[in-house]
Amino acid sequence: MNIGKRETAVVFIDPQNEVLAETGLAWPLVHESLREINTIENMERIFEAAKANGFEVFISPHYFYPTDRGWKFNGPLEADEAESGMFARRGTLNLDGLEGSGADWLERFKPYIEDGRTIVAAPHRVWGPETNDLVLQLRKRRITSVILGGMLANICVESHLRELLEQGFEVAVAKDATAAPKHPEWGYGYEAALINYAFLAHAVLTTDETVKAMEQGNS
């Protein structure tokens, strides 16, 4: 897989407080994984390398609005999100209460996301980008390959991987720039994700390998 700044973009999924901050509702399930893998620091290294080497960065966020409480059916995790108010915002055109909430960006990532150059897609509504405009935004910039990272490894990241592959993109996953829940009944999602990444992705990279590839691709 060729990684060059003209055709390759970094896509981070859900770089938000809900899954990355100690105040987030998912913290009890994800904090061990985040610390073991050094996820937040690795995501920041990739942000820095992308900005320094001229790679475009895209964000695919997760939001729920009050009207989403009208959904008539949900899967088990969707139901938990709806009940707990995870990723909740007060409305599509309402930013009241967003600052510092679970739906807000992790504070240390804001300089990279809010620099006026990062492309923030519409929110994905379940797990994958089928319900937002990420693919459109990528194609409009003639991006043909993607480096994926963010949260959660076995859910939204894997769902984005699968859909982007179906859409004809080459996809690499930065495996230590993601993390997953350790659920007492369902198991450790990160282990499941790594298996599927190996079967599906064009490349599975460490952050060191990702940064090196971006530095070499800046020409």
Q: What is the pLDDT of residues 26-61, one digit of tens each?
A: 999 999 999 999 999 999 999 999 999 999 999 999
Report yes or no on 204 lying in a domain.
yes
Q: How many residues does the chain have?
A: 219
pLDDT of residue 136: 98
Total domain count for the chain?
Answer: 1
What pLDDT does residue 69 have?
74
Collect all residues with Cβ–Cβ distance below 8 Å to 172 and sequence separation of at least 6: 1, 3, 145, 146, 147, 148, 201, 202, 203, 204, 205, 210
> Residues in the chain with pLDDT < 70?
71, 74, 77-80, 82-85, 219
Give the per-residue pLDDT at 214: 97
pLDDT score of 160: 98
CB 60 within 8 A of CB 13: yes
How far is the C-alpha of 104 from the C-alpha of 87, rounded, in Å?
8
| CA distance readout (Å), 74 to 5, 44, 78, 125, 196 | 39, 33, 5, 12, 24
131 within some domain: yes
Structural domain range at position 103 = 8-216
User: Is position 96 within any domain?
Assistant: yes
Q: What is the pLDDT of residue 121?
A: 98
In a domain, 172, yes or no: yes
Q: What is the CATH number of the domain that holds 40?
A: 3.40.50.850
Q: How far is CA 140 from the centre of its chain?
A: 20
Q: 163 in a domain, yes or no?
A: yes
* pLDDT at position 77: 67
Task: Please give the single-letter amino acid code of residue 90.
Answer: R
